[in-house]
Amino acid sequence: MARLNYVELPVRDVPALKQFYAQAFGWSFTDFGPDYAGTTSGDVDLGLNGDTDQWTAQLLPVIEVDDLEAALDQVVAAGGTVTLPIFEFPGGRRFHFKDPHGHELGVWTQTRE
């Protein structure tokens, strides 16, 4: 079965976004030339594309974490802006934020019973 394994964001400043995601979530990136970097975890990876000729429309990637409140604090400390505060939905809780380049992402955790 096909599954999502990569999300690519168009970015104006690859080094700045690498720093943001490293600080907010502890991710490390591999550089693939001067205008591209990506995580290489083998799970669902994130690419940062600085080549404006290849930019696409934005989508909403969603990141799963164990501690939603800690993730919210880390995102804000790294320079992110909360666009939708923590809310509940069947099966979990989530918030949305924009990174320093304006990409909106979600962060969620499963409801523990």
Instruction: Write out pLDDT tens, residues 11-38.
Output: 999 999 999 999 999 999 999 988 999 9
Residues in Cβ contact with 95 at an 8 Å cutoff, skipping those fewer than 6 apart:
68, 72, 82, 84, 85, 86, 87, 106, 107
Q: Is the pLDDT of residue 85 over 70?
A: yes
With vertex at residue 9, the alpha carbon angle to CA 31 and CA 42, rounded to the nearest 5 degrees, is 60
Residue 99, pLDDT score: 95
Q: Other CB atoms closer than 10 Å to residue 105's CB: what's the count?
A: 23
How far apart are the C-alpha atoms of 104 and 95, rounded to whole Å?
10
Q: Is the pLDDT of residue 108 over 60?
A: yes
> Per the confidence metrics, is the pTM higher than 0.85?
no
How confident is residue 66, by pLDDT bands cut at 50, 70 and 90? very high
Q: How far apart are the first and last CA of the chain?
A: 29
The mean per-residue pLDDT over the stretch 31-52 comes to: 91
Closest-CA residue to 77 (of 15, 24, 14) = 24
Higher-confidence residue: 51 or 42? 51
Residue 98, pLDDT score: 94
How far apart are the C-alpha atoms of 101 and 58, rounded to whole Å?
12
